[in-house]
Amino acid sequence: MKKSFFRYFPIFVLPTLICFFIAFFVPFVMGIYLSFTKFTTVGNASFVGLRNYITVFSASSGFWRAFFFTAAFTLVSTLTVNFFAFLLALLLTRGKRGTNFFRTVFFMPNLVGGIVLGYIWQLLINGVLNSFGVDITFAAKYGFWGLVILTNWQLIGYMMIIYIAGIQSVPKELHEVAQIDGATAFGELRHVTLPLVAPSVTICAFLTLTNSFKMFDQNLALTGGAPGRETSMLALDIYQTFYGSVGQEGVGQAKAVIFFLLVAAIAGAQLYLSRRSEAKAE
């Protein structure tokens, strides 16, 4: 039986697997190899050991600037997005008329693509800054807060939907018990709602974290890294290292490998934390 089933491997798996090798596996392995070489195309790569990585960590490569900008941006947007999304979710789980309409509206920006989002907010932010005689490329702080506002607009509705699902899964009886015991509204939130939506908080925190950390399109459209490359986050910095200057491809690829390792570390932390809370719940 087993052997005859495996005969169907070429039909069920092989087509997808071939595409997977072309689009992911081969480029991934080549990418790791190229990060240890100097190259302008794949054909002329010459091995240079760890030199690219040493260049990445030196002050001039811009890696650290992009890293700290990304880290600060990720921290601020994760906190603000989740704070506002949770407040909105609380407002929209009171069973009032019109709730559905409001949810629909708040979720909408999430469907708009990053490039379009970036230009929408460029118009608005430049419109406001215009009255002070500057624009978003004038100083890095404008780009920073512009990206934070944009990310909030994009992700609040998305996280709100997940929080709503979490809040609605809290059994009604628990709220009733709390009210009979004379809990204040805040006490009920603190001791009944919050502990039970903790899994949603983990999910949303990591979703915002990864989304912000890997952001590219919005960054490219809103500031393009300007002024200079001061507002380039890691993903955009890698792109600019690759395509903005000749001879830096190896360094760009090394940056990409480091970026991958950072993203993998975040994913690992998420897996660890969600496994741990699952184990606790059991």
Q: Does 192 bind another protein (CB under 8 A)?
A: no
**In whole angstroms, how close is the CB of 12 to another protein at the nearest point?**
4
Q: Does 187 bind another protein (CB under 8 A)?
A: no
Question: Segment near another protein (CB under 8 A), from 60-68, 70-78, 85-93, 175-183?
Answer: 85-93
Q: Does 273 bind another protein (CB under 8 A)?
A: no
Q: Does 215 bind another protein (CB under 8 A)?
A: no
Contacts of 150 (CB under 8 A, 6+ apart): 117, 118, 121, 218, 222
From 161, 178, 192, 197, residue interacting with another protein (rule: CB under 8 A): 161
Q: How far apart are CA 134 and CA 127, in angstroms?
A: 10
Q: Does 83 bind another protein (CB under 8 A)?
A: no
Q: How far apart are CA 193 and CA 183, in angstroms?
A: 12
What residues between 127 and 146 interact with another protein by CB under 8 A? Answer: 127, 130
Looking at beta carbons only, is 79 or 267 nearer to another protein? 267
Looking at beta carbons only, is 5 or 186 nearer to another protein? 5
Looking at beta carbons only, is 178 or 204 nearer to another protein? 204
What residues between 9 and 68 interact with another protein by CB under 8 A? Answer: 9, 11-13, 15-28, 30-31, 34, 41-42
**Among residues 65, 78, 207, which one has the least CA distance to residue 147?**
78
Which structure tokens are listed for 54? 């040493």
**In whole angstroms, how close is the CB of 64 to another protein at the nearest point?**
17
**114 and 172 in contact (C-beta within 8 Å)?**
no
Cis status of the peptide bond prior to 227, with omega within 30 of 0: yes
DSSP string, 79-135: HHHHHHHHHHHHHTTS--TTHHHHHHHHHGGGGS-HHHHHHHHHHHHHHHHHTTT--
From 46, 96, 133, 185, residue interacting with another protein (rule: CB under 8 A): 96
Q: Does 6 bind another protein (CB under 8 A)?
A: yes
Q: Does 198 bind another protein (CB under 8 A)?
A: no
Residue 173, CA distances (Å) to 90, 170, 178 in order: 18, 9, 9
Which structure tokens are listed for 23? 């689009």
SS3 of residue 184 by DSSP: coil
**In whole angstroms, how close is the CB of 50 to another protein at the nearest point?**
18
**In whole angstroms, how close is the CB of 252 to another protein at the nearest point?**
7
**In whole angstroms, how close is the CB of 79 to another protein at the nearest point?**
19
